C-alpha cells in the first residue's frame, strides 16, 4: 500500500496530525523509532511533573509546622515515588496507543527509525514509501556539552536521572535552566543534597532578574547549594563519586552528575540533505510561517522546527498545520502567544514580553509589580514567595507581557494570556470583581498599582 501522508515521530504534534489525517480518509504512515508519545509522555512533562508532585508532598509535610501541623519524621519512599511516576507514564502511553488504534485502518504505525532518501520519499521498516505530504515531528534530545572528561563518567541526563533506582546522596546539577531547576528542587525535597552549577550569573536566565532571584532565594532556603558564574572545566570520577572542577581551581564533589544544558533537534540522522530539507546552523529544520520546509510537500512541526520547545506549542503546531493543509489556515506560527510555566515551587510562568525584552527592543511599557506576599490568599496559605509583573502598552492599555512567580502561577498566567488573546485592555481586569481570597485577586491588585488605575 502506498500513502497519502507520512508522519515521522509520534510526539505531541505527530499523533494528532496522523490520526486526524487518517480519520479524514487519507492513507497515513506514522513512523516511531522509540516509545510512543515522544518526549512529553515518556521523559518530559509527565514524569517530571509527577515527580514534582511527590516532592511537593514531602515538602508540605516537612514544613507543616509553619501552619501548626507537625509531622514527625517524614519519610520519602523513593522506589514508590519512581513506581508512581512509571505508572503515570504507562497510563499516558496507553492513551496514545488507543488513540492511534482508534484512527482506523488507514493509519499504519511502523515502529522503526525513518529517514528521507529522496524527494518526498522515506525509508522505514525496510521499505521505501513516497507520499505527497511528509511531516517531520522528530523532536529533540539532551545536548552532551563538550566538557572534558564527561565521556568517562556515568553522567545523567533528564531521561536517566528519572530511572535511578535509589535516591542519590549528592546530586550535582550542571545547568540552571528550567529542567535543571525543576529536577534539582525535586531531588532536594526527596532528601538528596543538591548543588546547582550555573555558568551564567543567575538561574532561569530567560526570566527578568527578580524572578531568578526569587527562585534562587527559595532554593537556598530549602538547602540547595547554588553556585552562579560557575562554568565547569572538567569532570572525573566513577559510579557513586564524581568531581566537577570549576574555573578558579575549586571543585565540587557529588555522588551523581546531572547535565541539563540544553536540547538539540533529532535531525542529524534524518536524511535531510537527501530529502532537500534545509537545516539552520543549530540543526533545526528551517520552516516558513506555514511550516513548509525547503522541500515541496515536506513540513516540520514541534521542537525540531526551532520554535519554543513546549508540548502545547507542538500541539498547537498540529492544529495550525492541519488548517493550512485543509486550505483554511489564516493564522501563522509566528503571530501567536506562547505562555509557559516552569514547575519549580513556586512556579514561574510567563506570556508575551519580559521587561528585559521590551527594553532591549525599545518598546514603550508601563510596568506594574506586586510582591506575591501582598496577596491575602498568599499570606493566609503561607505561600508568600514571588511576585506578579505586568507590562502595559501606555497608548492602548493592552497587556504586552506578564510574568508571575508564585503559587499556581501556571494557572494564573492564563488570565493574562486570555486578555492578550482577546486584545483586551488591562482595565478589563480592573473592572473584574475578583473572588476573595484568591491568588487571582493579586493580578488585579498588581495592575492597580499603576497610577492610571489607582483609586482616588
Ligand X SMILES: Cc1cc2nc3c(=O)[nH]c(=O)nc-3n(C[C@H](O)[C@H](O)[C@H](O)COP(=O)(O)OP(=O)(O)OC[C@H]3O[C@@H](n4cnc5c(N)ncnc54)[C@H](O)[C@@H]3O)c2cc1C
Question: Cα–Cα distance between 23 and 18 in angstroms, integer?
Answer: 9
Phi-psi region of 349 (alpha: psi -120 to 50; beta: other; left: phi over 0): beta
* 31 forms part of the interface with ligand X (CB under 6 A): yes
Question: Cα–Cα distance between 193 and 181 in angstroms, integer?
Answer: 14
Residue found by looking up cell 509589580 in the block: 369
| Secondary structure letter of residue 307 according to DSSP | S
Q: Give the angle 389-263-297 at the CA atoms, nearest 5°.
A: 100
The residue from 16, 17, 32, 352 that contacts ligand X (CB under 6 A) is 32
Residue found by looking up cell 491568588 in the block: 439
* 265 forms part of the interface with ligand X (CB under 6 A): no
Clarify whether 436 is annotated catalytic: yes
- The least CB distance from residue 435 to ligand X, in Å, is 27
The residue from 198, 208, 303, 383 that contacts ligand X (CB under 6 A) is 303
Q: Give the residues across from 31 on adjacent strands.
A: 8, 110
Cβ closer to ligand X: 288 or 382? Answer: 288
- The least CB distance from residue 31 to ligand X, in Å, is 4
Question: Cα–Cα distance between 117 and 353 in angstroms, integer?
Answer: 41
The residue from 5, 18, 40, 58 that contacts ligand X (CB under 6 A) is 40
Name the catalytic one among 113, 256, 312, 436: 436
Q: Which three three-digit cell numbers place residue 172? A: 550535582
* Sole window of 26-34, 80-88, 192-200, 388-396 interacting with ligand X (rule: CB under 6 A): 26-34
The residue from 195, 212, 255, 266 that contacts ligand X (CB under 6 A) is 266
* 338 forms part of the interface with ligand X (CB under 6 A): no
- The least CB distance from residue 188 to ligand X, in Å, is 17
- The least CB distance from residue 311 to ligand X, in Å, is 4
| Subset of 151-180 contacting ligand X (CB under 6 A) | 158, 179
Nearest alpha carbon to residue 202 among 173, 176, 164, 225: 176
Q: How many helices and strands in the chain, by DSSP H and E?
A: 14, 22
Question: Cα–Cα distance between 185 and 112 in angstroms, integer?
Answer: 36
Cβ closer to ligand X: 339 or 406? Answer: 339
By CB under 6 A, name the binding residues for ligand X.
8-14, 31-34, 38-40, 43-45, 48-49, 113-115, 137-139, 158, 179, 266, 270, 302-303, 309-312, 314, 343
Catalytic residue numbers read 436
Amino acid at each position: 500500500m502506498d500513502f497519502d501522508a507520512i508522519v515521522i515521530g509520534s510526539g505531541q504534534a505527530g499523533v494528532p496530525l496522523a490520526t486526524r489525517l487518517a480519520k479524514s480518509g487519507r492513507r497515513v504512515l506514522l513512523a516511531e523509532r522509540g516509545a510512543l508519545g515522544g518526549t512529553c509522555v515518556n521523559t518530559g512533562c509527565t514524569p517530571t511533573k509527577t515527580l514534582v508532585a511527590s516532592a511537593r508532598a514531602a515538602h508540605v509535610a516537612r514544613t507543616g509546622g509553619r501552619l501548626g501541623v507537625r509531622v514527625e519524621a517524614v519519610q520519602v519512599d523513593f522506589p514508590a515515588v519512581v513506581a508512581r511516576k512509571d505508572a503515570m507514564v504507562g497510563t499516558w502511553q496507553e492513551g496514545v496507543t488507543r488513540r492511534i488504534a482508534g484512527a482506523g485502518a488507514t493509519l499504519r504505525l511502523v515502529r522503526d527509525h525513518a529517514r528521507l532518501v529522496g524527494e518526498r520519499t522515506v525509508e522505514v521498516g525496510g521499505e521505501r514509501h513516497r507520499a505527497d505530504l511528509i511531516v517531520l515531528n522528530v523532536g529533540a534530545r539532551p545536548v552532551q556539552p563538550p566538557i572534558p572528561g564527561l565521556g568517562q563518567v556515568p553522567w545523567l541526563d533528564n531521561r536517566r536521572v528519572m530511572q535511578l533506582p535509589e535516591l542519590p546522596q549528592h546530586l550535582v546539577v550542571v545547568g540552571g535552566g528550567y529542567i535543571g531547576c525543576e529536577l534539582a528542587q525535586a531531588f532536594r525535597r526527596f532528601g538528596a543534597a543538591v548543588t546547582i552549577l550555573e555558568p551564567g550569573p543567575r538561574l532561569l536566565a530567560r526570566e527578568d532578574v527578580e524572578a531568578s532571584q526569587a527562585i534562587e532565594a527559595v532554593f537556598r532556603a530549602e538547602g540547595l547549594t547554588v553556585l552562579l558564574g560557575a562554568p565547569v572545566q572538567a569532570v572525573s570520577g566513577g559510579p557513586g563519586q564524581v568531581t566537577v572542577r570549576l574555573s578558579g581551581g575549586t571543585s565540587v564533589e557529588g555522588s551523581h552528575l546531572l547535565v541539563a544544558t540544553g536540547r538539540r533537534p533529532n535531525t542529524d540522522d534524518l536524511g535531510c540533505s537527501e530529502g532537500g530539507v534545509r537545516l539552520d546552523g543549530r540543526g533545526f529544520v528551517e520552516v516558513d510561517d506555514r511550516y513548509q520546509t525547503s522541500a515541496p510537500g515536506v513540513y516540520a512541526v514541534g521542537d525540531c522546527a526551532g520554535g519554543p520547545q513546549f508540548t502545547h506549542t507542538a500541539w498547537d503546531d498540529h492544529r495550525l498545520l492541519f488548517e493550512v493543509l485543509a486550505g483554511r489556515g489564516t493564522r501563522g506560527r509566528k503571530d501567536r502567544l506562547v505562555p509557559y510555566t516552569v514547575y519549580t515551587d513556586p512556579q514561574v510562568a510567563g506570556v508575551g514580553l519580559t521587561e528585559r525584552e521590551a527594553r532591549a527592543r525599545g518598546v514603550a511599557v508601563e510596568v506594574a509589580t506586586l510582591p506575591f506576599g501582598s496577596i491575602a490568599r498568599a499570606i493566609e496559605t503561607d505561600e508568600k514567595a514571588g511576585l506578579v509583573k505586568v507590562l502595559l502598552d501606555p497608548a492602548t492599555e493592552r497587556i504586552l507581557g506578564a510574568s508571575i512567580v508564585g503559587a499556581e502561577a501556571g494557572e494564573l498566567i492564563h488570565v493574562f494570556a486570555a486578555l492578550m488573546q482577546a486584545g483586551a485592555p488591562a482595565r478589563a481586569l480592573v473592572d473584574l470583581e475578583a473572588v476573595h481570597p484568591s491568588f487571582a485577586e493579586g493580578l488585579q491588585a498588581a495592575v492597580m498599582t499603576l497610577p492610571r488605575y489607582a483609586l482616588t
